[in-house]
Amino acid sequence: MSVIVIEVLALLAGLTGLGFLAKAALTRTRPGVRLRQEANRLEIDRAAALTCPIHGVQSEESLVRLPDGGTLCSVCYREAVHGQLPS
């Protein structure tokens, strides 16, 4: 019984050590910093793609996919297709 407990503790210590090594590799090495910077860029690009310059932040589900692959906010699409909406 005590052997099993020691093995489980050794396994947990090994997994914890691997976790610390992985975290150190992602935060202190040049490739890790590069990965985080790319993730930051993707997050900023995604937030910018969801923001209409006129109507502000839109949910991803409310955007309209244009035939050329671009997206447009639903209010801008309605205005562009059906003319100016009454206010």
Residues 34-53 within binding reach of Zn ion (CB under 5 A)? 52
Q: Which residue has the tokens 């590069």?
A: 34
CA–CA separation, 34 and 4 (whole Å): 41
Q: Which is nearer to Zn ion, 32 or 71 (CB)?
A: 71
Q: Residue 72 belongs to what H/E stretch?
A: strand 71-72
Site for Zn ion contains 73 (CB under 5 A): yes
Q: Which is nearer to Zn ion, 46 or 55 (CB)?
A: 55
The alpha-helical segments, DSSP class H, found in the chain are: 2-28, 30-49, 74-82
Site for Zn ion contains 85 (CB under 5 A): no
Least Å distance between CB 52 and Zn ion?
3
Helix 2-28 / helix 30-49 crossing angle, nearest 10 deg: 70
Residue selected from 3, 4, 5, 54 as contacting Zn ion according to rule CB under 5 A: 54
Least Å distance between CB 76 and Zn ion?
3
Least Å distance between CB 74 and Zn ion?
8
